[in-house]
Amino acid sequence: MRIVKTPAKILAAIRKERRNGKKIGLVPTLGYLHAGHEALIKRASKDSDVVVLSSFVNPLQFRRKAYEAYPRDTERDLAVCKRLRVDYLFLPVSKVIYPDGFDTRVEVKDLAGRLEGASIRWHYKAVTTIVAKLFNMIEPDKAYFGKKDPHQLILIKRMVADLNFPIKIVAVPTRRAKDGVALSSRNSTLTLEERRALGVLPTALKKVEALIKCGRTDRSALRKILVSMLESEKLVTVDFTAVVDEATLLEDRVGRKTLIYAAVFIGGKRLTDNLVVKNP
Ligand code: PAF
């Protein structure tokens, strides 16, 4: 595995690989790799010849305190990348990504403000900015993102289409425990009782999925069913729910797929999950 720290070097190395006929897969991350990242790397290894993992805690997408507190463990990340045979680890520092005078942002306009985005447009603008920069710095054929964060995924797909990036976005399914709970490093901070209570989240999402598959289209009623199922678990406080068109994130638009999304608090920790279902 090669560790590369500058945009010029990674682009030169990747262009050389491409001249040799190799297909390039990019896994963008914030580092501190977990099981979800491993699933992205494994998928990238399956359908790309060369796997590049970028590890960069993007300061623009965090408030200052959260940026400073973001967990970092480069040694452990290196071990994960080596074990999973990542070919290139792109490990830039902030100054090379945002040199003095950096003054450009890439923003997906209306979509960014939907779902939970109204108050955190700045965050999504920062995500699309860094992802666009990574796409230009690495020029991958494919880039891999988890379905765990559906809003981010939808914005990146929109940006790729709107800005004509010749890159295929591969959405990798969320890994789940036996009881359906989405794997997340946050789960390990729950008590046994809280972890048990979290089971209601995938159960409620699946119930609404089943109703949609049976032909129910009344989304606001479906959202109420979702809320009441979640509230049936006494340790759960519902924070945000949505049953919306997957492409536009609007409740009253009916396209090919429906996104069912929920964010809850359990024991003071905010946990999210979602399912996307094809409309019958
Ligand atoms: O989902 C993430 O890990 C980050 O938002 C991303 C896509 C790597 C951009 O910093």
Q: Ligand 1 within 6 A of 130 CB?
A: yes
pTM of the model: 0.94
Residue ID of nearest Cα to ligand 1 atom 2 = 29
Q: Where in the chain is the domain with CATH 3.30.1300.10?
A: 187-271
| pLDDT score at 184 | 82
Among residues 34, 37, 123, 151, the one annotated as catalytic is: 37
Residue 280 β-bridge partners: none
Q: What is the DSSP string of 169-238?
A: EEEEPPPB-TTSPBP-GGGGGS-HHHHHHHTHHHHHHHHHHHHHHTT---HHHHHHHHHHHHHTSTTEEE
Residue-wise pLDDT tens digits, 94-119? 999 999 999 999 999 999 999 999 99
Residue-wise pLDDT tens digits, 26-72? 999 999 998 899 999 999 999 999 999 999 999 999 999 999 999 99
Buried-exposed string 33-68: b where 16+ CB fall within 10 A, e elsewhere: beebbbbbbebbbeebebbbbbbbbbbbbbeeeeee
Residue-wise pLDDT tens digits, 5-38? 999 999 999 999 999 999 999 999 999 998 899 9
Residue ID of nearest Cα to ligand 1 atom 5 = 127
pLDDT level of residue 217 (50, 70, 90 thresholds): very high
Which of 38, 105, 127, 148 gets mutated to test ligand 1 (max ligand atoms within 8 A of its CB)? 127
Alpha-carbon distance of 69 to 119, in angstroms, equals 21
Q: Ligand 1 within 6 A of 132 CB?
A: no
Taking alpha carbons only, the member of 216, 222, 217, 215 closest to residue 261 is 222
Q: Mean of the per-residue pLDDT values for the chain?
A: 97
Distance 28 CA to ligand 1 centre (A): 6
pLDDT level of residue 189 (50, 70, 90 thresholds): confident
Distance 208 CA to ligand 1 centre (A): 29
Distance 210 CA to ligand 1 centre (A): 31
Q: Ligand 1 within 6 A of 58 CB?
A: yes
Residue 185 has pLDDT above 80, yes or no: no
Q: Where in the chain is the domain with CATH 3.40.50.620?
A: 2-172
Q: What is the CATH number of domain 2-172?
A: 3.40.50.620
> Domain 187-271's class?
alpha beta
Active site residue 37: yes
